A and B are shown apart, each in its own frame.
Chain A
Amino acid sequence: MRWSNRFQFALAATALLGGALLMARAVPRAQLSANLTMQAAPAPLPSPSPEAPKRVLPEFFVMIDPSHGGDDKGAMLAGGKVAEKEISLTLARELKRQLEERGIAVRLLRDSDVNLSLERRATATNEERPGIYIALHAGQPGKGVRVYSSALALAQPPAAGRFLPWEAAQAGSLEHSRAVARIVANEMRKTGLPVATLSVPLRPLNNLITPAIAVEWAPGPEDLRPPQAQRLGNMLASAIASGIVQARSQGAERP
């Protein structure tokens, strides 16, 4: 082979190699990342269900729903350092303790960091018919506490009959839910925190047949640091527990 032929061959080989490398790099990254995501996907979680085993429940008990959990972190607070799912669970455990101290039976919809859909939360609550359902949240903006009942801004009046429309299942308990919200809010005001009572179309409240409220704690910038966080959490739980005891004694929990 002459020198010029060798040069042409080398040139051709280099071009072929370079072209192949560049084409390889041009493989769609989305495809690649999708493959990686699939490989890295965690093992499927067990089917979401309330954690406590089935048991005979007392006539009156409170269903506490620590909002979010698992992949659903909820709002990120304290500059993104604390997830709503953690605050709601801590508050739920404290509320459970305080209610039990007051002689009221309690069930938590989740007692660990698990995924639990809103539908499942509603179904489990409706199946067990607690005296009061309370969802615990934490979020922004502002500082203080907001107590919500369902607004059913989306519901037509339920037709007479055995079946309730899922989106308006709360309609029959709405007055009782609002009464519980008012009583709990009044107890909260005694703590000195700013308290607002609002009606919002909120899931799963709309889907529940029992009196149901949601409490959202809006912590200030310093409120999530220990020991302040624990002090405030205990204070909130105590106020909610007192409100529930009062609501029960006034018969506000029964539709």
Chain B
Amino acid sequence: METSDPKRRRSRRFALPAHSKLFLLLIVALVLLYGVIYPNARVLIGALQLEGHWSLANFLDVLAQRSVLESAITSVAVSVLTVLLCALVGVPLAFLFERYSFPGRRIFATLAALPLVLPPLVGTVAFIFLCGESGILARLVQHVFHLTRAPWSLRGWGALLLFHTYTMYPFFYVLTGAGLQRIDAGLAEAARSLGASRWRLLTRVTLPQLTPSLIAAALLTFMTSMASFSAPLLFGGNVRMLTLEIFNARQRGDAGVALTETVLLAMISLAALILFQRYEGTRRFVAAAMKGTTRRRLPLQSGKARLLAAGGGIVFSVVLALPIVTLMLVSFSRDGLWTTETLPPSYTVANFVRLGADADARSVFVNSILMAGIAAIAALIWSFCVTALTATGESKRWKRLTNLLVLIPWALPGTVVALSVAEAYGQNNPLTGSYILVGTFWILPVVYFLRFMPLVVRAVQASMEQLDRTLEEAAGVLGASWWRRFWRVRLPLIAPGALAGTLLAFVIGLGEYVASVLVFTPGNRPVSIAIASSLRDFNLGTAAAYGVVLIAMITIAMVAAGRLEQSSG
């Protein structure tokens, strides 16, 4: 029983002062009500009403359309296959880098997580330049073998799954790696001493302990894949995923279908979340070990194995870096001049100069930085409000409800979040004070905030959980008031983790496309929209240049986040 250990329990004595608590409670309740509950309720109501009457007819009508059901099945199928493929790539890679040491291991280990920070749209564009039917690889094959037509087309299932695997395997790679690090090496030693073979050790000791990591990775991959939009849009071909169908229905002006499909997508995502978490709950192991044995990486002894591992690492990192290298190459190409050649024929810095000189292009970056920044900072402040409430040992039921409501926007695909906000704040309504958010600058910061605040809350909560509670008790006994304890003890200790989470939210916000494309206005066009429209106008160089600048900004932010995390640990 968790409450019976006085050292672990947070004492009720340490609750917030009553008036501060009431204030926080009000903020949290209002944001959750207007940001999470109301918009989603509007979508649900919209899908379940027909001309002002409650009716399942509309909902069932839409469901009965073959294309809707098909796209739902397609979405799930793509996601399941993506999870399997990502596990196949990510897990062995994690074992290789975590268990063995060989020349260059550290560099490759870092590189392997690279696709995580690639904005999906930018990744998609890079992929098209590299592997598309008029991309560098296809042209190369065409020229070498003197083919009259492109040797393949980057369309359909294969293309989609290839891209998904490339961008999402890092979930498995990173989480399995972290899981392997946590496993007490003493357990492996115990198993070996009991006579377990390597295979038995792997299947009976290591993998069961990794299960929580694997489930978490599978969940992340599944949800990301369900929400995937850029890839199906640009090279999905006849693979009609739900996100794309919602977008198309909205473009057609078919609100009923869009809402129903949104509800469908939301339901599948939430069901997956609940299913995974159920399973995870039954599979959590608490290490009974008192003192862990630190694991040493096995050096690869034989020359052949070292060569193979290092060579494989190099090939692997080249494969990983190729799309980004391609993007850089194309960003220096002249718009409109690259037609049938393998590589762009002539190079210029004009694209970058134009990005700097053109007021329109500059404003796009300013918009993205501003909107992602506002959302990230708001998310940080909001996270402190939520954790201050959930960490004070109050009623468990409310705590759970708050956490659940906070998580919902994370579980919902960006398409759903954007659409629900648009639906709720798109027309006059006394419930919202008749404030119309749609069409204003603020719609995107609000949507970004809702999408990314669960991430920041999670980061802050994780830092709080690692925080030794006796520290605050010690401060209390030494005479510090609640606010002093908060400012002098809690805040400095959770700041690194919280800031790292905030930076991550900022970085994802910088390249956000899925939700932006549904609700952006001329006044707040973000970078991703500029990339998409350049691409549509066949200004490939400009599109790539946008992407390169975006990646540079993200890299800087990620390096800063890494520094912060190091200084905390």
A binds B: no
Chain B positions near chain A (C-beta within 8 angstroms): none
Chain A positions near chain B (C-beta within 8 angstroms): none
